[in-house]
């Protein structure tokens, strides 16, 4: 591990230079530390026009042998997964590498027993329990493609994802504990499966004891299945470019896209970025608070840490239960060294006051991480002062579901820290800024659209079932560049500061959402004629959701209507997509060609109605006046 860690500024500069001058030599050297059944014939071939990207072509491997088997001789009794339950009085689970290896083998056999085989898609809709990580790894063990769906999504969203990837199995639990609530996962799965014909088997973990109906010939109990199989499962030998997983993420149009990652490149990159960004060393305890349903959980709870032989914490609960000190209690309880969370959590806990922080020592922390959205100065300084005690570098990590791993981030004790700056690219990453005309901006102190102009091992390979959509979304805006969808500034030192999305994607509490998705959900309400959704600055969530809605009849009871709209959205997508503000309007600002001018709605939503800019292209400028008047009367 140590040999690939950057520990000085000089070394960063030299390594970065080498990584872009001789990328194939650079990445082959990292890849050499893994176990391969056969090494690659070619490190990289690529063509962003198609797009087609292949890393370590011809190589054969199984990623779980690198996450598990490879560590058995040296770290067999070291804790791999440390699980902290929702209820602090329930027992902690510690799985050593040896135990995890066994449990993965055993569950892999359960999957096989239930008909799963190499190449099948398996949907995982589960609470944050050790079995979720075991299930992910068991899929990879047998060469099946996992599609984890965040267990906060509705039955509808779940069904869409299962159908898009034609999953043959669903792995779930009776229910999920979240603070003092229980979510009935199996009931949601049953509702989803009413419109999924591809699913042959459902394996149900008993967690909450919630009563469930088991469908004969389809549903089996997880724990009962375990009794029927051996603990050892040979790893399926896979090709470097075989699919490892699909993970759905929102874009500016249409339904969420199934981002596809392939095995070898993802493995090499998540390992390398993990050990460098968190400065991980052998005895450390590392905690990422994300849910495994998001890319952060895939790359930096499961794969990156386990590839590095680390101890990774999984937390089942929420930051505010039993009280707003829970994160800090866990840091002390497990002597956490690296802590990785989202700005929205920091802001929420900051708002609860220091009394929830001050009773904890937090003296084992070495590195603090931030991910998912821009971190504002105030939250940065609070994190630095009250959690890090001004003693822990903060790594503000910019990346995306599509990039697979962290792209731009400080390296602790190496990179100068600048609040709100993600800072510099990791080795092998070649970011650039372009203007709206697609011209690259070569100077410093400029602002533009963030692109990446050379392939990296963990980059998106395709959108499941729709390669053309992948090309159009990421590779068609600018020639020979991957377009991120983010606006970004580069300062005099060449440091990058992410400004936020430039498309119709909003980021609510670090969750990515398409405004079109939310609009489609709202439009399902029978009285809604049309809607337009925009993001607006929200003190805790980063962005809130503001919905402008046209109804077919005047709304008499605004409160009841609002509740009904929230219900519809909740059902279509899930609670994370519920609008924070709803304004009923009689018209939307449209151009003569019928396009909604979201720029104007964004201004109104942010409360900035003094200067709406050029409205001369509007079909009917009077609608804007009407919306402005009504802006105070929102629910
Ligand atoms: C990891 C993740 C991706 C979008 C991305 C950005 C935003 C993520 C940061 C950030 C500012 C950061 N994947 N984003 N990290 N913005 N600073 N450090 O979040 O696919 O769910 O979202 O999130 O807009 O494009 S994601």
More confidently predicted of 619 and 493: 493
Residues 213-242: pLDDT tens digits? 999 999 999 999 999 999 999 999 999 999
Asked if pLDDT for residue 384 goes beyond 80, the answer is: yes
Question: Which sign, positive or negative, has the C-alpha torsion 479, 517, 256, 458?
Answer: positive
Query: Which residue in the block uniquely carries the two structure tokens 């914490």?
Result: 313
To test ligand 1's pocket by mutation, which of 288, 498, 503, 511 has the most ligand atoms within 8 angstroms of CB? Answer: 498
Residues 265-303: pLDDT tens digits? 999 999 999 999 999 999 999 999 999 999 999 999 999
- How far is the CA of 83 from the CAs of 45, 63, 278, 426, 489, in angstroms? 40, 22, 20, 30, 39
**Residue 127: partners with Cβ closer than 8 Å, 6 or more residues away:** 151, 173, 175, 176, 177, 178, 183, 185, 207, 316
pLDDT of residue 1: 62
To test ligand 1's pocket by mutation, which of 397, 459, 507, 509 has the most ligand atoms within 8 angstroms of CB? Answer: 507
DSSP strand E in 27-101: where?
Answer: 42-47, 52-57, 60-61, 79-84, 93-96
pTM exceeds cut of 0.85: yes
Percent of the chain having pLDDT more than 70?
Answer: 99
pLDDT of residue 617: 82
Asked if pLDDT for residue 2 goes beyond 80, the answer is: no
Asked if pLDDT for residue 628 goes beyond 90, the answer is: no
Q: pLDDT category, 98, cuts 50, 70, 90?
A: very high
Paired tokens of 23: 């990328």
Query: What residues does 490 pair with on adjacent strands?
Result: 446, 496
Asked if pLDDT for residue 446 goes beyond 80, the answer is: yes
pLDDT of residue 633: 53
Q: pLDDT category, 164, cuts 50, 70, 90?
A: very high
Compute the distance between CA of residue 16 and CA of residue 424 in angstroms, rounded to an integer.
Answer: 10
pLDDT of residue 632: 53
Q: pLDDT category, 635, cuts 50, 70, 90?
A: low
> Pairing mode, if any, of strands 285-288 and 176-178?
unpaired
Q: pLDDT category, 254, cuts 50, 70, 90?
A: confident
Please state, rounded to an integer, the average pLDDT across all residues of the chain. Answer: 96
610: buried, middle or exposed (CB in 10 Å: 19+, 13-18, 0-12)? exposed
Q: How many whole angstroms from 484 Cα to the centroid of ligand 1? A: 10
Question: Residue with the nearest Cα to atom 18 of ligand 1?
Answer: 398
Q: pLDDT category, 630, cuts 50, 70, 90?
A: confident
For the CA of 370, the closest atom of ligand 1 is 18
User: Do 163 and 465 form a contact (C-beta atoms < 8 A)?
Assistant: no
**Phi, psi for residue 436 in degrees, rounded to 5:** -60, -20
3-state DSSP helix/strand/coil percent for the chain, to nearest 5?
A: 35, 25, 40
Residues 319-346: pLDDT tens digits? 999 999 999 999 999 999 999 999 999 9
DSSP state of 384: I
The answer to whether the CB of 400 is under 6 A from ligand 1 is yes
The three-state DSSP-derived secondary structure of 122-148 is EEEECCCCHHHHHHHHHHHHHCCEEEE
Query: What residues does 169 pair with on adjacent strands?
Result: 122, 201
> Pairing mode, if any, of strands 446-452 and 482-490?
antiparallel
Question: Residue with the nearest Cα to atom 16 of ligand 1?
Answer: 373
Q: pLDDT category, 614, cuts 50, 70, 90?
A: confident
DSSP 183-250: E-HHHHHHHHHTT-SS--EEEEE-SS----PPPTTTEEEHHHHHTTS-S--PPPPEETTSEEEEEEE-
549: buried, middle or exposed (CB in 10 Å: 19+, 13-18, 0-12)? buried
Mean pLDDT of 97-103: 98
Question: Residue with the nearest Cα to atom 22 of ligand 1?
Answer: 400
Residues 583-613: pLDDT tens digits? 999 999 998 888 899 999 999 999 988 888 8
Mean pLDDT of 394-405: 98
pLDDT of residue 341: 98
For the CA of 398, the closest atom of ligand 1 is 18
Q: How many whole angstroms from 426 Cα to the centroid of ligand 1? A: 16
Q: How many whole angstroms from 461 Cα to the centroid of ligand 1? A: 19
The answer to whether the CB of 488 is under 6 A from ligand 1 is no
The answer to whether the CB of 506 is under 6 A from ligand 1 is no
Look at the chain and count its residues: 635
The answer to whether the CB of 396 is under 6 A from ligand 1 is yes
Asked if pLDDT for residue 621 goes beyond 90, the answer is: no
The answer to whether the CB of 374 is under 6 A from ligand 1 is yes
Asked if pLDDT for residue 479 goes beyond 80, the answer is: yes
Does 51 sit behind a cis peptide bond, omega within 30 degrees of 0 on the bond before it? yes
**Residue 529: partners with Cβ closer than 8 Å, 6 or more residues away:** 550, 551, 552
Q: pLDDT category, 622, cuts 50, 70, 90?
A: confident
Residues 135-159: pLDDT tens digits? 999 999 999 999 999 999 999 999 9
Residues 21-73: pLDDT tens digits? 999 999 999 999 999 999 999 999 999 999 999 999 999 999 999 999 999 99
């Amino acid at each position: 591990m140590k040999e690939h860690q950057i520990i000085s500024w000089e070394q960063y500069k030299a390594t970065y230079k080498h990584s872009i001058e001789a990328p194939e030599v650079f990445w082959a050297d990292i890849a050499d530390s893994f176990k391969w059944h056969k090494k690659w014939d070619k490190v990289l071939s690529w063509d962003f026009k198609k797009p087609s990207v292949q890393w370590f072509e011809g190589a054969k491997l199984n990623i779980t042998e690198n996450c598990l088997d490879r560590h058995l001789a040296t770290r067999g009794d070291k804790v791999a997964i440390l699980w902290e339950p929702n209820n602090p009085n329930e027992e902690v689970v510690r799985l050593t590498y040896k135990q995890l290896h066994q449990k993965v083998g055993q569950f892999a056999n359960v999957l096989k027993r239930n008909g799963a085989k190499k190449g099948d898609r398996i949907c995982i809709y589960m609470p944050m329990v050790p079995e979720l990580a075991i299930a992910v790894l068991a899929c990879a063990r047998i060469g099946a493609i996992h599609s984890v769906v965040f267990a906060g999504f509705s039955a509808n969203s779940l069904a869409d994802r299962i159908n898009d990837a034609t999953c043959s199995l669903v792995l779930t639990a009776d229910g999920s504990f979240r603070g003092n609530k229980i979510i009935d996962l199996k009931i949601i799965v049953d509702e989803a499966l009413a419109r999924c014909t591809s699913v042959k088997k459902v394996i149900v973990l008993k967690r909450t004891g919630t009563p469930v109906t088991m469908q004969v010939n389809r549903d089996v109990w997880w724990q009962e299945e375990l009794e029927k199989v051996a603990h050892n499962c040979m790893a399926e030998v896979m090709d470097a470019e075989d699919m490892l997983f699909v993970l759905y993420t929102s874009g500016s149009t249409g339904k969420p896209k199934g981002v596809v990652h392939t095995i070898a490149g993802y493995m090499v990159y998540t390992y390398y970025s993990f050990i460098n960004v968190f400065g991980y060393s052998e005895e450390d305890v590392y905690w990422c608070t994300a849910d495994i349903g998001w890319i952060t959980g895939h790359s930096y709870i499961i794969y990156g840490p386990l590839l590095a032989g680390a101890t990774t914490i999984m937390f089942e609960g929420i930051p505010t239960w039993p009280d707003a000190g829970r994160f800090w209690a866990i840091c002390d309880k497990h002597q956490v060294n690296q802590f990785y969370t989202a700005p929205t959590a920091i802001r929420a806990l900051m708002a609860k006051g220091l009394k929830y922080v001050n009773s904890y020592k937090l003296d084992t922390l070495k590195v603090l991480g931030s991910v998912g959205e821009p971190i504002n100065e105030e939250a940065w300084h609070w994190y630095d002062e009250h959690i890090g005690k001004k003693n822990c570098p903060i790594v503000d990590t910019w990346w995306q579901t599509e990039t697979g791993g962290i792209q731009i981030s400080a390296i602790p004790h190496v990179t100068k820290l600048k609040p709100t700056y993600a800072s510099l690219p990791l080795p092998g990453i070649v970011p650039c800024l372009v203007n709206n005309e697609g011209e690259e901006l070569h100077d410093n102190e400029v602002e533009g659209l963030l692109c990446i102009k050379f392939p990296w091992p963990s980059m998106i390979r395709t959108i499941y079932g729709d390669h053309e959509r992948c090309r159009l979304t990421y590779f068609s805006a600018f020639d020979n560049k991957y377009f991120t969808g983010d606006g970004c500034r580069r300062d005099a030192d060449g440091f990058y500061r992410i400004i936020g999305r430039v498309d119709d994607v909003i980021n609510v509490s670090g969750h990515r959402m398409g405004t079109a998705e939310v609009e489609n959900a709202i439009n399902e309400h029978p009285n809604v004629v049309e809607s337009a959704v925009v993001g607006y600055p929200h003190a805790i969530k980063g962005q809130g959701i503001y919905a402008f809605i046209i109804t077919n009849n005047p709304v008499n009871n605004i409160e009841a209507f609002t509740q009904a709209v929230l219900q519809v959205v909740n059902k279509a997508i899930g609670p994370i997509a519920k609008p924070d503000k709803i304004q009923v309007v009689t018209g939307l600002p449209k151009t003569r060609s019928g396009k909604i001018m979201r720029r104007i709605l964004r201004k109104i939503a942010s409360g900035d109605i003094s200067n709406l800019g050029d409205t001369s292209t509007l079909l009917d400028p009077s609608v804007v006046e009407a919306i402005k008047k009504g802006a105070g009367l929102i629910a």
